[in-house]
Amino acid sequence: MKEFKVAVVGATGAVGVEIVNVMHAHKFPLVSSGDYSVPIMYASARSAGKLVDTPYGSLTIREFELSSVQECEYDVIFLAVSGTFSKQYARELAKGNALVIDNSSALRMEEDVPLVVPEINSNSVYDGCKLIANPNCTTAIAVMALWPLHCKFNIRKIIMSTYQVR
């Protein structure tokens, strides 16, 4: 089985923490030795150097710097960051070898960035694709339930409203 060098940018936020938890729970195949046997966690200068408890043990947060992330030649980079951050760095990170997965809303409507829910349309990730986005959390959960219904009954239209309270 192929093993991957993985970075999580925005690792101290709720989405970054959940990405790390899900990777561990699903036994995502990380490189089995050295520094890359755990996901490498990046965040802002404010969080850099802090130890955080993860399912992989205590890991040190690294400060995100574009050049240092690019130099590591990751296979997968998860962006659990703001849309502004994604707009600034996602395409630059995708120029390397890594598949960059953006979890913000910044690139969801970009024509050249596939919007992917792997269980539904992983085939939309074409050869050479280095940057993908995912739909918001409500949509991703909804399509998981709706996809089998669509396959059986050919759903033509859904009207859904969601509300988020701050």
pLDDT tens-digit series, residues 108-163: 999 999 999 999 999 988 888 999 999 988 888 999 999 999 999 999 999 988 88
Question: Is pLDDT of 164 > 80?
Answer: no
For residue 98, the domain's CATH number is 3.40.50.720
Q: Supply the range of the domain harboring residue 27.
A: 6-136
- pTM for the whole structure: 0.90
Name the pairing type of β-strands 76-79 and 62-63: unpaired
Return the pLDDT at 1: 84
| Residue 122 belongs to some domain of the structure | yes
Q: Is residue 158 part of a domain?
A: no
Q: Is residue 111 part of a domain?
A: yes
Residue 151: inside a domain? no
CA-CA distance, 138 to 165, in Å (whole number)? 14
How many domains is the chain partitioned into structurally?
1
Residue at 76 is within a domain: yes
Of 56, 65, 45, give the one whose Cα is nearest residue 23. Answer: 56
The more confidently predicted of residues 164 and 54 is: 54
